[in-house]
Amino acid sequence: MPRRSKSVSVVAVVLAAGAGRRAGTRIPKQFVRLPGGTLLDHALIRIGSHPRVGSVIVVVPRGRVRALEALAIRHPKVVTVVAGGARRQDSVRRGVQAIVGRPADIVLIHDAARPLVPSHVIDAVIDAALACGAAVPGIEPADTVKEVGAGGCVERTIPRGRLRLIQTPQAFRLDWLRLALARVSPRKVFTDDASMVEAAGRTVRVVKGSPLSFKVTTLGDVARLRSLLGDGA
């Protein structure tokens, strides 16, 4: 593990620009009120309170930028709020563009929909990105994984020992991430940021994630999060 240095600058880009339709809430899930603030507030508390994160950029829906500029009052490390794009990579691009003029060795890309990420996971991806250039947290699937064909029949059972369910924050050297964004095909859609870096020919290290870093996607996830927040998670 690399020796930690106070001279390393870490900037976090928190993505909160999605519509969150699968959650079944009246408003985008990242703005749903929970004990202690919105889902986005909780994500910013976890990321912003980490001692190695120097500043935070928040990417939100285009029509909410002005209304959410007050995030910087509640979360001192938030330096700017920018409008997202139609796809994930478009939102990441706009977040990374906002880093111009700010020192950044490592960039964390984090989903606002993962508000309970533990501090040790943030440390692990930063350390691995410093050593290898890019890192993501992942957990091994607990269930058996099968590949199913068009007719609904099992084609094969996939050994899960080498499989990982990938979470965020994902950490990258800034120059690697910029290069990946520059090489992204405008026709290809990426569901995570590491995929762009992999497509640019870079190797991504996987570190141990956490069950607490689950993604809030459905109403059931919202209920689970409320319960955990009520228990002081």
Regions of the chain with pLDDT less than 70: 1-6, 20-26, 231-233
Predicted local confidence at residue 186, as pLDDT: 82
Residue 92 CB partners (closer than 8 Å, separation 6+)? 13, 15, 59, 109, 177, 181, 193, 196
Q: For 209-225, how does the pLDDT look when each residue is reduced to its tens digit (9 = 90+)?
A: 999 999 999 989 999 99
Predicted local confidence at residue 40, as pLDDT: 96
Predicted local confidence at residue 25, as pLDDT: 64
Predicted local confidence at residue 22, as pLDDT: 61
The backbone torsions φ and ψ at residue 105, rounded to the nearest 5 degrees and listed phi first, read: -90, -45
> Could you give the domains of the chain?
10-230 (3.90.550.10)
The backbone torsions φ and ψ at residue 125, rounded to the nearest 5 degrees and listed phi first, read: -75, -35
Predicted local confidence at residue 27, as pLDDT: 78
pTM of the model: 0.91
Pick from 18, 19, 180, 172: nearest CA to 88? 18
Predicted local confidence at residue 221, as pLDDT: 93
Predicted local confidence at residue 1, as pLDDT: 47
Predicted local confidence at residue 233, as pLDDT: 59
Length, in residues, of the chain: 233
Pick from 56, 99, 60: nearest CA to 78? 56
The 3-state DSSP class for residue 188 equals coil
Predicted local confidence at residue 4, as pLDDT: 54
Q: For 101-132, how does the pLDDT look when each residue is reduced to its tens digit (9 = 90+)?
A: 878 999 999 999 999 999 999 999 999 999 99
